[in-house]
Every structure is written in structure tokens, then in C-alpha cells.
Amino acid sequence: MAKLKRLLRPVLMVLGAVTIVAVLGFVEHHADRTPVKELQVTLDPGARGDQGVHFINEDVVRQQVLGHTDGVIGTAVGEVDVVGIERDLRGIGCVASANVYRTMDGTLHVRVKQREPIVRVINADGSGFYIDSEGWTMPLSDAWTARVLVVTGALAEPFSAGGVTDLNALGDTLAAATRSRALYQVARTLHADPLWDVLFEQAVVGEDGGIELIPRVGVQRVRIGDGSHLAQRLAKLKTFYAQGIAQTDWRRYSTIDLRFDDQVVCTKRTTP
């Protein structure tokens, strides 16, 4: 009897596995035929939570999905073009990612993450675009304006026509002909430090490519060069603010120059 049990055990295990697969297959087949009864949209608020970005809302996402292949409500969930819906949602300039999936109760779930801009670039001709926290360009929006660093000046960046571009993947020729990658690195460095993120609200690019930061307080401009070695230069500025300018009037200087090694060069204002 014991020998017979040992012989039957593998057979029973195989039969059990086959039964489970058959049941799962039946459930999956039945689920695929369930009509879509509800569309649930979730917008990922991003790192800033409720204070995050608001370029797109649930109604816009819902209309995008419902308009896909003549609507999805009532369609069997197995026939919904999930890949196509995700592709169309990712085609919206402010959308970083989209995840669409279905559950057996007939609910189609759509989760959308918006891009989080950290800098707004305004060209000399008035055209502009955002650069998000991952280094992607994104178009401006009529629905909402992000409160981020604004860069103006001698700029003619070719990324304001709409769509998105990965600045980290630019070819050498295009990267050398534009300043957007450098501006992204500057914005990312400022955004990463709570002090600089609050203090600087604008930057100006000169004809020579030199960048000047404009603080919210005071009247001075902070010269940082082309944006390279910015962390080290800002460390000097933080020391200067703590030990130097704290002893004087913020209005005393017109420029603070961080481009020189181991020193901060200030120019006094000539007018009161």
C-alpha cells in the first residue's frame, strides 16, 4: 500500500496542476468576456503630493480613453486595446507614463503620471517649453503654469514646437548647438537644495553663454558662468551669505561673481 501511494503521488500532483491551469484558463476566458462597466482614473501626484503638477486632469484622461476605438464602456475587457491606450496617453506632452490594466469585475484602471517640470525656458522670440526632472522637454500648457525657475536671455532653443525630447540622449552635434542640457543641469542642482530652490526664481543667459541667477531678495545678480562646477560655486556662495553678506546690506552689491577659484568677487552698486 505504501509503495502504491508513492507511485500515485506524482500522478496526483500532475492532475492537480492540470486542474489548476484549467480552472485559471476558464476564469481568464470568462474575465476576458466581461464587459467594461467602469473606468477608474488615477493621477499620480508625483513627489510633491497635492502640491504637485496639474497640467492634466481626470476628465481629460477619461475623454482620451473613452474616445479610443469608439469608446470602451460595454466592450469586452479582453478586446480593449490596452497597449494602444497607453501609447496614446504617453503621446500627451505632459504625461510621463501611463499604465492601463483591467480587473475581473469589469473595471478598467488607468494610472497616469505627469511630468514634473523644474525649469521653464523662454527663447528670445517668446517661444518656450519646460524641462522636467528627468531631463525631458515638454510643451507649455494653457491650463496651468508651473512655478519653477524661469530662464530668459539670448536663447533660440529648438524644443518649443511641442512634443518631448530626451536631453540626456541628444546627439553630440545638437547638444553642442543648444544650451538646454546645461540649463537642465543648473535647474536640477538648484532644485535639489531647498535654499537655492526657494532663493532663485530666474536666470538670464548672455550672448556668450554665461548664466546669471537672479534671487527673490536683493538686487544683485549671481554670475555662475556656463553652469559647470555649479555645486562647488554654490558652496562658496553659501559661505559668503553666511559670513559675508550677513554683515552688510543685501542691496550693497550689484553682482556676485562665482566664476573664480577660491574667491567670490562682488561689485558694489553705483546708485543708491
CATH classification of the domain holding 179: 3.40.50
The residue count for the chain = 272
At residue 32 the predicted structure's pLDDT band, cuts being 50, 70 and 90, is low
The answer on 123 and 108 residing in a single domain is no
The answer on 157 and 239 residing in a single domain is yes
Q: In this predicted structure, what is the pLDDT of residue 241?
A: 82
The answer on 264 and 131 residing in a single domain is yes
The answer on 240 and 148 residing in a single domain is yes
Give the number of other CB atoms < 10 A from CB of residue 110: 23
d(CA 241, CA 106): 60
242 located within any domain: yes
pLDDT tens per residue, range 14-28: 554 444 444 334 344
The structure's pTM equals: 0.82
Q: In this predicted structure, what is the pLDDT of residue 27?
A: 42
Higher pLDDT, 7 or 226: 226
CATH code, domain carrying 56:
3.10.20.310
d(CA 66, CA 105): 18
Closest CA to 222 of 186, 258, 251: 258
Last residue of a domain, one of 114, 130, 156: 114
d(CA 31, CA 270): 77
Q: In this predicted structure, what is the pLDDT of residue 114?
A: 92
5 located within any domain: no
DSSP 107-158: EEEEEEEE--EEEEEE-TTS-EEEEETTSBEEE--SS-----EEEEES---S
The answer on 62 and 148 residing in a single domain is no
20 located within any domain: no
Closest CA to 248 of 232, 225, 224, 264: 264
Q: In this predicted structure, what is the pLDDT of residue 51?
A: 57
**Domain span at 96:** 38-114
In this prediction, residues 113-133 reach a mean pLDDT of: 96
The answer on 248 and 209 residing in a single domain is yes
The answer on 86 and 67 residing in a single domain is yes
Beta carbons within 8 Å of 140's beta carbon, 6+ residues apart: 120, 128, 129, 130, 160
Work out the mean pLDDT of the chain and round it to a whole number: 84
pLDDT tens per residue, range 208-237: 999 999 998 777 899 999 999 999 999 999
14 located within any domain: no
| pLDDT for 2 beyond 90 | no
Residue 180 CB-half CA count within 13 A:
31
62 located within any domain: yes
13 located within any domain: no
Last residue of a domain, one of 114, 145, 180: 114
What percent of the chain stands above pLDDT 90? 51
- The radius of gyration of the chain from alpha carbons, rounded to an integer in Å, stands at 28
Last residue of a domain, one of 114, 146, 166: 114
The answer on 198 and 255 residing in a single domain is yes
The answer on 56 and 176 residing in a single domain is no
d(CA 230, CA 196): 12
The answer on 209 and 96 residing in a single domain is no
The answer on 150 and 213 residing in a single domain is yes
At residue 96 the predicted structure's pLDDT band, cuts being 50, 70 and 90, is very high
In this prediction, residues 86-112 reach a mean pLDDT of: 92
If one counts the domains in the chain, the total is 2
The answer on 97 and 126 residing in a single domain is no
In this prediction, residues 157-177 reach a mean pLDDT of: 90
